[in-house]
Amino acid sequence: MTSPPSLWQLFRVFFVMGATSIGGGVVGYLRSALVVRQRWVDDATFVELLAISQTLPGLNATNMSILVGDRLRGTPGAVLAALGMCLPGAMLMTGAAFAYGIGGDDPLSKAFLHAIAAGAVGLVLMVMVQLGAKVLSGFADYVFVAVTAILVAGFRVPVPLAMIGMGAIAIWWHRPRKAPPSP
Amino acid sequence: MKQLLDIGGVFAYLSLLTVGGGMAAFPELKELTVNTYHWLTFPELLHYYSIGQLAPGPNMMMVATVGAHVAGLPGAAVALVAFILPTGIFTLVVGRLWNRLANWPWRPAIERGLGSVAVGLVLSGAIVMGRGAFTSPYYIALGAAVFGLLMMTKINPALPILASGAIGMAAYLL
């Protein structure tokens, strides 16, 4: 691994990623920039930081920026990495809101927007399948997924309640134990 | 001022729910911005969320659009800071601690347990979103086609989403 980058370098690399990672899948962009091109972290560290990012609340891409920035340059590094990652998208989306205010009511824009909303559901489902392939490993896990979804989407249970309740049950189910689980 | 405080409160709260990704917070995002505060309609929220899928960077920078929709530039800034800062500090602190807990026996239990719940929350988000977006079989077909394409190929997800937009416009014009 090379010596830690300067704060400016760190900001620049994350800013470029924040501006070019179009179409979701920021994790792929992160890996190719941080592990392959810059060699700031190795693959094992990357996977470990990713597991932390996905477990903690917060967006995966933002959490990864904070964790990698912190590893490389401490708190200032974490702040600049996260800023670089978020700024381009944040500026674009703010601009988009104003454009929507001007042209969003046009029937042609509405036809476009409603169709991309339908397409975006397809993307969300794909992300869910990918996430599921990584973390679900037994019948019980699928039950936790189904019950959580039925509670939130079916019975309108508030997300924090479902998260804490189902989270506690699922963590308890996977609790560390030496003997094999009794049937 | 009251409105900016509300925006800050709502998005700071929502940020705590984004376990496993931004989509996990979608049901609550809809509940608060559409039903509780009436800041925008459900179709408007869906449109903003979908535009957000086309933007680079983290997938929930669309919170800026809701902030801007309600209170202009200050609204966008407050929504972004509230959405990113609290969990950011949390990640910074816990991230350092988490490394030291590499051999803590409860760590895999938490990762696996919260992992399943996170998938369930993303699924809930997709269902809530689908109820708004799938208003006719034609839209279901679009969503299914994007899902199928993304599962079978490695193309950039922005491309099929843009293509569905183009199909939607063509269908309107013809």
The three-state (H, E, C) secondary structure of B97-139, written as one string: HHHHCCCCCHHHHHHHHHHHHHHHHHHHHHHHHHHHHCCCHHH
B74 lies within 8 A of chain A by CB: no
Residue in B45, B117, B140 to test binding to A, most A beta-carbons within 10 Å: B117
Are residues A108 and B169, on separate chains, in Cβ contact within 8 Å? yes
pLDDT digits (tens, 9 = 90+) for A93-109: 999 999 998 887 899 99
Contacts of A170 in chain B (CB under 8 A): 112-114, 116-117
What's the pLDDT score for residue B21?
78
Q: Which of B48, B73, B8 is nearest to B129 (CA)?
A: B48
Residue A137: pLDDT band (50, 70, 90) is confident
* Per-residue b or e along A1-18, where b marks 16 or more CB atoms closer than 10 Å to that residue's CB: eeeebebeebbebbbbbb
- CA dist A63 and B94 (Å) reads 11
Are residues B76 and A20, on separate chains, in Cβ contact within 8 Å? no
Are residues A49 and B95, on separate chains, in Cβ contact within 8 Å? yes
What's the pLDDT score for residue A180?
56
Q: Please check the confidence at residue A4 and state whether its pLDDT lies above 80.
A: yes
Name the residue in chain A with its Cα closest to that of B154: A25
What average pLDDT does chain A have? 88
What's the pLDDT score for residue B71?
94
Q: Please check the confidence at residue A73 and state whether its pLDDT lies above 90.
A: yes
Token representation of residue A135: 């973390």
Percent of the residues in chain A that have a pLDDT greater than 70, as a whole number: 94
Q: Please check the confidence at residue A182 and state whether its pLDDT lies above 80.
A: no
What's the pLDDT score for residue A25?
66
Q: What share of chain A is helix, strand, coil (3-state, %, to 5)?
A: 80, 0, 20
A173/B112: higher pLDDT:
A173
Are residues A118 and B19, on separate chains, in Cβ contact within 8 Å? no
* Residue with tokens 């991309």, as numbered in its chain: A116
pTM of the model: 0.87
What's the pLDDT score for residue A179?
57
Q: What is the DSSP string of B3-43?
A: HHHHHHHHHHHHHTT-SSSGGGGHHHHHIIIIIIS-SS-HH
What's the pLDDT score for residue A13?
94
Rounded mean pLDDT, A161-183: 83
Residue B57 is classified by DSSP as S
ipTM: 0.87
Q: Over chain B (174 residues), what is each successive 10-residue block's mean pLDDT? A: 94 90 89 96 93 87 94 96 95 88 85 88 91 93 95 87 93 91
Name the residue in chain B with its Cα closest to that of A127: B122
Q: Please check the confidence at residue A43 and state whether its pLDDT lies above 90.
A: no
Q: Please check the confidence at residue A176 and state whether its pLDDT lies above 70.
A: yes
Q: Is B40 exposed, middle or buried (0-12, 13-18, 19+ CB in 10 A)?
A: middle
What's the pLDDT score for residue B59?
82
